[in-house]
Amino acid sequence: MNYDLVIVGGGPAGLAAAISAKENGINSILVIERDRELGGILNQCIHNGFGLHIFKEELTGPEYAEAFIDKLKALNIDFKLNTFVLNINKEKELSVINSVDGFFKIKSKAVILAMGCRERPRGAINIPGNRPSGIFTAGTAQRFINMEGYMVGKKVVILGSGDIGLIMARRFTLEGAKVEAAAEIMSHPNGLNRNIAQCLEDFNIPLLLEHTIIDIKGKDRVEGVVLAKVDKDWNPIKGTEKYIDCDTLILSVGLIPENELSREMGIEIDPVTQGPKVDESLETNIEGVFSCGNVLHVHDLVDNVTKESYRAGKCAAKYIKNELKKISKSINTVPSTGISYIIPQRINLANAEDNIHIFMRVKDIYRNIKIIAAVNGIPIKEFPKKQLYPSEMESISLKRDELFKFNPDEISFYIE
Ligand SMILES: Cc1cc2nc3c(=O)[nH]c(=O)nc-3n(C[C@H](O)[C@H](O)[C@H](O)COP(=O)(O)OP(=O)(O)OC[C@H]3O[C@@H](n4cnc5c(N)ncnc54)[C@H](O)[C@@H]3O)c2cc1C
């Protein structure tokens, strides 16, 4: 089987990338999705708040996904469901499996990686205590309640203040459960401010900052958890222990981009984002392999996933049409004081558009500061910002012509 473009993952990233590649002149496109339907994780996000930027209205997750699925179908783009990509080699040959066609190979001129991310499980955060039933990641509980019709608990404690956990605090409450508290080890919440207000404060659910769980009680089913305040090194402070009676513990402690396929094929991974390192065209270190959406870096809003993935589709189309120039020199982007990561990690000016969009996350909460772009320690541009939160993705843009003037080897970004 041969295609010009194969997209791995049929979530919002894969859908937008496919639509954009088609609109940019590519006809032979296949989207591969391992789940039973297109739409990715949005299918289980039945709350509203999606699409404010793109559609200027608040849609639910399934409504947002549906708009793109309809468009994909109207454009006659091929897709395969219940189909799993096992491996991709450097020659862009994919090993694929499903229960209808069995094991088969697909050769493609370009590949877009759009596999999304998965949740960090209990094993990744080492909570001591027994292993009773009643411990779920927020996304698993979300799928059970919103898609499969099972209520997973009645008295709930949430560990972590990521957006999925916050959304689930509200969902549990609306479904009749009592959410006793959300505990966050950091000194600030991890989720968006609007979710803190609408999902915790509106329902009088306490958010315990600088707290973690130090014990889980119960043998067959969770019976309670012990919380403690932590010091600045995140060690529990003796004497602050507090027992909360509950039957369910929900973990919302971060997302991990699903890059097993990328690592195996030799794609360079950024140790901070846990996603591929890309250039301004969202191309990885393997020519013709692009990446977008949550597999590239964890996004705050799905609208940003869609915009980024449109760009990946457009650039993959350019590559297939031989319109991406091969470059020997690129400018490395370096996150410095206060910035945890930068996307893209390198910029090829010859392929860059007039405005080069730079995405980043900051390490702490900052107010009335400037983001500085500097070459050889000398600031070349500053961007005043009223407030920045680690939970929100920040973006700035640089003019391609301005960068041409300096033509540096690297450009650093820091907070002042
Ligand atoms: C549990 C959970 C809940 C979330 N809730 C919200 C929310 O309430 N609000 C919000 O704004 N954002 C939410 N997000 C963030 C949301 O994931 C992103 O905004 C957006 O869905 C990311 O799009 P994506 O296409 O990159 O990833 P996804 O939506 O995760 O789609 C990736 C797709 O790739 C498929 N895939 C992966 N590997 C393979 C493979 N090897 N072969 C074939 N297919 C594969 C997956 O099955 C999946 O359908 C949530 C994320 C998670 C994990």
User: Could you give the CA distance from residue 368 to residue 375 in angstroms, rounded to a whole number?
Assistant: 23
Under the banding of pLDDT at 50, 70 and 90, the label for residue 391 is confident
Under the banding of pLDDT at 50, 70 and 90, the label for residue 105 is very high
Atom of ligand 1 nearest to the CA of 50: 11
Under the banding of pLDDT at 50, 70 and 90, the label for residue 319 is very high
- Look at 128 and 371; give whichever has higher pLDDT: 371
Position 405 scores a pLDDT of: 83
5 pLDDT more than 80? yes
- Cβ of 163 closer than 6 Å to ligand 1, yes or no, is yes
For residue 39, report the distance from its CA to the centre of ligand 1, in Å.
Answer: 8
53 pLDDT more than 90? no
141 pLDDT more than 80? yes
- Specify which of 107-116, 180-189, 374-383 reaches the highest per-range mean pLDDT: 107-116
For residue 162, report the distance from its CA to the centre of ligand 1, in Å.
Answer: 15
What ranges in 161-286 are assigned the alpha helix state H?
163-174, 193-195, 260-264
Atom of ligand 1 nearest to the CA of 261: 41
Using most ligand atoms within 8 A of CB, pick from 294, 299, 311 the residue to mutate for ligand 1: 294
- Cβ of 302 closer than 6 Å to ligand 1, yes or no, is yes
383 pLDDT more than 80? yes
Atom of ligand 1 nearest to the CA of 47: 8
For residue 302, report the distance from its CA to the centre of ligand 1, in Å.
Answer: 9
- Cβ of 33 closer than 6 Å to ligand 1, yes or no, is yes
Residue 106 and residue 3 in contact, taking contact as beta carbons nearer than 8 Å: yes
- Cβ of 116 closer than 6 Å to ligand 1, yes or no, is yes
Position 313 scores a pLDDT of: 98
Position 129 scores a pLDDT of: 77
Query: Which of 23-37, 230-244, 248-262, 322-336 bottoms out in mean pLDDT, i.e. has the lowest?
Result: 322-336
Q: Which residues of 19-38 are buried (b: 16+ CB within 10 A; e: fewer)?
A: bbbbebebebbbbbbbbeeb
- Cβ of 294 closer than 6 Å to ligand 1, yes or no, is yes
Position 193 scores a pLDDT of: 87
Position 127 scores a pLDDT of: 82
Q: To which residue do tokens 């959304």 refer?
A: 167
Position 198 scores a pLDDT of: 94
Q: Can you tell me the mean pLDDT for 73-86?
A: 98
For residue 117, report the distance from its CA to the centre of ligand 1, in Å.
Answer: 6
Token pair recorded at residue 75: 């454009």
Residue 71 and residue 19 in contact, taking contact as beta carbons nearer than 8 Å: yes
Atom of ligand 1 nearest to the CA of 86: 41
Residue 194 φ then ψ, to 5°: -65, -30
Q: Can you tell me the mean pLDDT for 149-168?
A: 94
Mean pLDDT (the chain) is 94
Position 406 scores a pLDDT of: 82
For residue 226, report the distance from its CA to the centre of ligand 1, in Å.
Answer: 32
One-letter identity of residue 406: F
For residue 222, report the distance from its CA to the centre of ligand 1, in Å.
Answer: 28
- Cβ of 85 closer than 6 Å to ligand 1, yes or no, is yes
For residue 42, report the distance from its CA to the centre of ligand 1, in Å.
Answer: 7
Under the banding of pLDDT at 50, 70 and 90, the label for residue 47 is very high
User: Could you give the CA distance from residue 350 to residue 330 in angstroms, rounded to a whole number?
Assistant: 9
- Cβ of 170 closer than 6 Å to ligand 1, yes or no, is no
Query: Which of 20-24, 152-156, 323-327, 408-412 bottoms out in mean pLDDT, i.e. has the lowest?
Result: 323-327
Position 325 scores a pLDDT of: 85
43 pLDDT more than 90? yes
Q: What percent of the chain has pLDDT over 90?
A: 84
Position 126 scores a pLDDT of: 77
Q: Can you tell me the mean pLDDT for 237-257?
A: 95
